[in-house]
Amino acid sequence: MKKETKLNVYANSLIGVVVIFIGIVLFNTITAQLKFKADLTEGDLFTLSEGSKKLLEDLKEEGDGSKLEIRFYLTQGEKGVPVFVSEHGRRIEDLLDQYQEYAGSNIELKKINPRRDTDEEELAVNDGIQLLNNAFYVGMAVSFLDTTEVIPFFDPAKSTTLEYDISRAIKNVLKLKEDRQTIGVMSSLNVWGGPDASNPMAMMNRGAQQPPWFFLRQLQQDFNVERLEATATEISDDIDLLLVIHPKNISDATEYAIDQFVLSGRKLIVFADPLALKDEGNNQNPQMRIPGMGGASTLSSLFNKWGVNFENSKVVADFNFRLNQRDPLSRGRIMPAYLALGKKAFNQEEIVTRDLGSIRMPYAGSFDVSNLATGLTAKELISSSDQAKLVDGMSSQFNGEKIMDSFLTGSEDGKPTGTKKFALAVKISGTFTTAFPDGKPGSNGEEEESDEEKTTNSNHLKESESENHVCLIGDTDLLSEEHFLIQQRFLLSQNVSFVQNIVDHFGDDTLINIRSRNQDRPFTTIMDLEKEAQSKFEDKLKKLEAEQQAILQEKTKLESTGKGQNQFTLSIDPEALKDIQKKELEKRKQIREIRKELRSEIDLIQLQIKLANIVSMPALVIIAGIIFFVRKRKVTAAK
């Protein structure tokens, strides 16, 4: 056997390196021409959803073969374009490629680079695309026949809603505005904006105008939304779906109109509330307003007829779904009646809740549907955990600690006692019958009826002709944006998605499984470990706080002793008071130490999980390499 020289070894090594390099170049060149993608995310977040595919299939039936044109504007190769914007633009481009690939010749996708002072920039300006940082554009215009829908700017902070925004724009150009569903909104709260009716100073100041609530502005983008007064006694036939929000002190005539609306086969969504924080009653002094003073709301006649019991004097407190004390809205308080509901609270078999991640419902009421009227069935959409109870609404805002203590009263194993599960939102289905068998209230037949009354009674409906659906939600504050939206317009929860899902479900459900795809995927493992750590220190902390309270009471008692007839003269033992103050300082120090230990425990848990994530992949690679090396050596040795 001829022995290889060093030169031959080096030459062979060099040739091997060149061959490998050429192979890599050829592989990249060939694969670059192929479109292959593997979406390994939970819920396939980077793959077109069924809703988008259905929308594109419907496109084939629209416009006699007319193409839908998408003009995507992304500035590239210019100074001043942030790297994260370029990356965001590439993701949008990839998503639009999927739309075109699925729709084929029905979509014409134009990718335009609008650099400054070019014809392409003129196109962007004409389409209404927004110039950002005086340097770049990233937006889209969708045209079909004579209709154009524009997304002036794709916000990188809202990357999780990309598919929904694109599909909604396509849907809006396919459906003419006059063909959209009409939604009626009847509310005793100021959801429409304008001057604050409860604030006389705002009423006199013409410049102080409140915008419509966020959920309403979102609905107006997709539907024709019509305002109905809370005292309305008639509902137009043009309205396809009715939202009734906080029906407080509602008249029989208004409730009759809602009754007939349901019996006509149209859909109803009701937001009732035992404690609406946005309803401050008739108190016109801005400094004396107390949230929830306006009273509860319900549809008593309709609920009684349907066999629905709504607890409108008490709210649901939940040991498991209470608002986290580290949440900015809690301000460090314990708030068991402010519900921050997670995935386990949602019905996974219903499309409106199946993919939701989180919803906030402050001081919500519950529905008992165990005694429904004949012909009706109910499905719970949102439920509390099975460790919940009903508590007084007003006091629940201020007595969170007492409520948490009441959960554990008489408990021997540290688990809540006297608790059960409550339905917070339900869908009622079936054949509905009227709650007003004698016709419109006030028409008793004893006096001669007017022609208008005769016409009304002749059109009186006693039963729905076919199965219908009604959705009941035990909270109105989930619609108020301060409970799910921070100032930078960042969504804390999916309250609006839930509302939009119900509206779509009762009409066109194309966009439901796009909007509600679970973008909020919390680290449940971390949350569970943090809860476990909190429970470990909770007993110690409560014991110390109780001892601290006893010391404060003793101090107060000591300061009040020696009061004689002269109420302004105190006789106090200085040594005893000094001893009490020393004990008080000691307890405060112990409480701080316990809280410090708790924070350290939580920080350690988070650090351990981060390290596990960082180390796990390299460790797997090393282990695989060792196994490969050992096996190869065994095979070589066997030869």
Which pLDDT band, with edges at 50, 70 and 90, does 539 fall under?
low
Using CA atoms of 121, 124, 128, 133 in order, give the dihedral in degrees to the nearest 10: -50
Helix (H, G, I), strand (E, B) or coil at 235: coil
In the block, tokens 């008249």 appear at: 251
Report the chain's terminal Cα–Cα distance, integer Å. Answer: 18
Q: Checking DSSP bridges between strand 314-318 and strand 388-392, what pairing results, if any?
A: antiparallel
Query: What pLDDT shows up at residue 446?
Result: 44
Q: Would 406 be classed as within a structural domain?
A: no
Most confident of 69-73, 214-218, 614-618: 69-73
User: Which of residues 521, 546, 574 is at a domain's end?
Assistant: 521
114 pLDDT band (50/70/90 cuts)?
very high
278 shares its domain with 427: yes
At residue 523, the pLDDT reads 56
Distance (Å, rounded) from C-alpha 492 to C-alpha 75?
31
* Residues 590 and 604 both lie in one domain: yes
Q: Is 258 within the bounds of a domain?
A: yes
Q: In this structure, are 499 and 575 located in the same domain?
A: no
283 in a structural domain: yes
Across 169-173, 366-370, 480-484, the highest mean pLDDT is recorded for 366-370
The answer as to whether 27 is a domain residue is no
267-294 confidence digits (pLDDT tens): 999 999 999 998 876 555 544 556 666 7
Q: Say which residues have a Cβ less than 8 Å from residue 159's Cβ, sequence separation at least 6.
A: 88, 91
- pLDDT > 90 in the chain, percent: 36
* Same domain assignment for residues 554 and 490: no
Whether residue 100 is predicted with pLDDT greater than 80 in this model: the reply is yes
Residue 63 lies in a domain: yes
Tens digit of each residue's pLDDT (9 = 90 or more) over 181-197: 899 999 999 999 877 55
> What's the CATH number where 74 sits?
3.40.30.10
123's tokens: 């196109």
Secondary element (H or E) of residue 46: none
Instruction: Return phi, psi of residue 32, to 5°.
Output: -65, -25
Determine the residue type at 61. E
Give residue 200's pLDDT: 53
Lowest mean pLDDT among 336-345, 404-413, 424-433, 445-454: 445-454
Domain assignment present for residue 162? The answer is yes
- With bands split at pLDDT 50, 70 and 90, how would you rate the model's confidence at 568? very low
For the residues of 499-564, what is the DSSP string, one character each?
HHHHHHHTS--TTHHHHTS------HHHHHHHHHHHHHHHHHHHHHHHHHHHHHHHHHHHHHTT--
Question: Is 146 in the same domain as 227?
Answer: no
Same domain for 541 and 610?
yes
- In this structure, are 376 and 298 located in the same domain? yes
Q: What single DSSP character describes residue 432?
A: -
Strand 241-245 versus strand 423-430 pairing type: unpaired
Considering the domain architecture, whether residues 547 and 470 belong to the same structural domain is answered as no
Q: Look at residue 447 and tell me whether its pLDDT is greater than 50.
A: no
Lowest mean pLDDT among 90-94, 121-125, 276-280, 539-543: 539-543
Q: At residue 569, does pLDDT exceed 50? A: no
Choose one of 173, 189, 214: the last residue of a domain. Answer: 173
Shared domain check, 373 and 242? yes
**Rg, Å, the chain Cα set:** 32
pLDDT at 62: 59
The answer on pLDDT for 58 being more than 70 is: yes
Of the residues 148, 173, 198, which one is the last residue of a structural domain? 173
Which of 376, 366, 258 lies closest to 306 in space, CA to CA? Answer: 376
- The answer to whether residue 14 is domain-embedded is no
Higher pLDDT, residue 596 or 110: 110
140 strand-pairing partners: 72, 151
Return the structure tokens found at 233: 């006694």
- The reply to whether 105 falls in a domain is yes
- Residue 513 clears pLDDT 60, i.e. is over it: yes
Share of the chain above pLDDT 70, in %: 76
What are the distances in angstroms from CA 246 to CA 275, 374, 473, 490, 501?
10, 27, 10, 26, 20
Q: Which of 94, 163, 154 is nearest to 514 (CA)?
A: 163
Please tell me which residue, 578 or 322, carries the higher pLDDT value: 322
Enter the tokens of residue 406: 């009441």
Are 251 and 373 part of one and the same domain? yes
Residue 489: domain span: 181-312+366-385+422-441+459-521
**Pseudo-torsion of CA 539, 542, 544, 546, nearest 10°?**
-140
Question: Are residue 536 and residue 605 in the same domain, yes or no?
Answer: yes
Largest CA distance in the chain: 125
Q: What is the reported pLDDT for 515?
A: 63
Give the amino acid at 360: R
Q: CA dihedral defined by 488, 490, 495, 501, rounded to 10 degrees? A: 110
Looking at mean pLDDT, say which of 218-232, 475-489, 620-634 comes out highest.
Answer: 218-232
Which of the four pLDDT bands, split at 50, 70 and 90, describes residue 34?
low
**What's the pLDDT score for residue 93?**
93
What's the mean pLDDT when you consider all of the chain? 81
155 closest CA partner among 132, 124, 172, 127: 132
Q: How many structural domains compose the chain? A: 3
Highest mean pLDDT among 256-265, 283-292, 318-327: 256-265
> Do 493 and 463 fall within a single domain?
yes
Convert the pLDDT of each residue in 155-187 to its tens digit.
887 777 788 889 889 988 887 656 788 999 999
Assign 444 a pLDDT band (cuts: 50, 70, 90).
very low
Is 445's pLDDT higher than 50? no
The pLDDT value recorded for residue 180 is 80
Q: Look at residue 521 and tell me whether its pLDDT is greater than 60.
A: no
pLDDT at 188: 93
Q: Is the pLDDT of residue 461 over 90?
A: yes
pTM listed for this prediction: 0.68
Predicted confidence (pLDDT) at residue 309 exceeds the cutoff of 90:
yes
Q: Which of 116-120, 140-144, 439-443 shows the lowest per-residue confidence on average (mean pLDDT)?
A: 439-443
On the question of pLDDT at 500 being above 60, the answer is yes
And the tokens for 267? 């859909």
What per-residue confidence (pLDDT) applies to 261?
96
